[in-house]
């Protein structure tokens, strides 16, 4: 399930994020405002703006997969210097391309892996704890916050845009 949760579903959510950003761009066009206005929007003065929410969502997916598969040293680096929608969409696509390099076998030891981050000062959690209590809550947090910033500005995004297509069977 690590592969499904951290690769397949995260790639889907990044696709939904691209779609939500496209809706924002269409809205900006219709209102004759620059997309940069939306990309610089936030819900509180000390909250990260929309651009940063997208960057963090991408890095949460990238570093989640890298740490769970114990390949963090070879993960691609990103400078967080995107300023346009086109650059942010490229960042999302690059992250998805990176996620696509993983297979189920890469997560064979993920559950019991000891995982740390620089800011945890040498402390660690298990891979299962990391996935459940850090990666998943964080990526959904930043994608939902991006959605909320756009929604608050008047973009007509709805739950279906956020969830994406469901694999209904009959």
Positions touching a second copy (CB under 8 A) are 1, 4-5, 8-9, 12-13, 43-44, 47, 114, 120, 122-125, 128-129, 132-134, 136-138, 140-141, 144-145, 147-148, 151-152, 154, 159, 162-164, 166-170
d(CA 124, CA 70): 14
Quote the least distance from Cβ 52 to a second copy, whole Å: 13
Nearer of residues 90 and 133 to a second copy, judged by Cβ: 133
Q: Taking the complex as a whole, how short is the minimal distance between the CB of residue 84 and a second copy, in angstroms? A: 25
Query: Least distance (Å) from a second copy to the CB of residue 123?
Result: 4
Nearer to a second copy, 30 or 84 (CB): 30
- Containing 136, the helix (H) or strand (E) segment is helix 136-152
DSSP-assigned states of every residue in 49-93: -HHHHHHHHHHHHHHHHHHHTT-GGGSPP------SHHHHHHHHH
> What 8-state DSSP symbol labels residue 160?
H
Indicate the residue among 84 and 129 with the shorter CB distance to a second copy: 129
Q: Which is nearer to a second copy, 94 or 128 (CB)?
A: 128
Rounded Cα distance between 103 and 8, Å, is: 10
The Cα–Cα gap between 42 and 50 comes to: 6
- The burial of 6, by beta-carbon neighbours within 10 Å (0-12 exposed, 13-18 middle, 19 or more buried), is given as buried
Instruction: Give me the least distance between CB of 129 and a second copy, in Å please.
Output: 5
Q: Which is nearer to a second copy, 70 or 117 (by Cβ)?
A: 117
Nearest distance in Å: CB 32, a second copy: 21
Cβ(73)–Cβ(24) under 8 Å?
no
């Amino acid at each position: 399930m690590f592969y499904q949760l951290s690769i397949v579903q995260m790639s889907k959510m990044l696709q939904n994020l691209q779609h939500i950003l496209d809706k924002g761009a269409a809205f900006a066009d219709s209102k004759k405002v620059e997309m940069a206005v939306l990309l610089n929007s936030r819900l509180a003065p000390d909250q990260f703006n929309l651009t940063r929410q997208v960057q963090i969502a991408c890095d949460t997916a990238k570093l989640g997969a890298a740490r769970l598969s114990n390949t963090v040293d070879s993960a691609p680096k990103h400078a967080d210097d995107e300023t346009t929608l086109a650059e942010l969409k490229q960042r999302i696509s690059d992250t998805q391309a990176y996620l696509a390099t993983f297979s189920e076998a890469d997560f064979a030891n993920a559950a019991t892996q000891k995982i740390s981050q620089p800011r945890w000062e040498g402390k660690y959690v298990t891979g299962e704890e990391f996935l459940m209590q850090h990666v998943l809550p964080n990526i959904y947090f930043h994608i939902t916050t991006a959605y909320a910033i756009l929604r608050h500005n008047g973009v007509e995004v709805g739950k279906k845009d956020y969830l994406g297509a469901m694999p209904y069977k009959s």
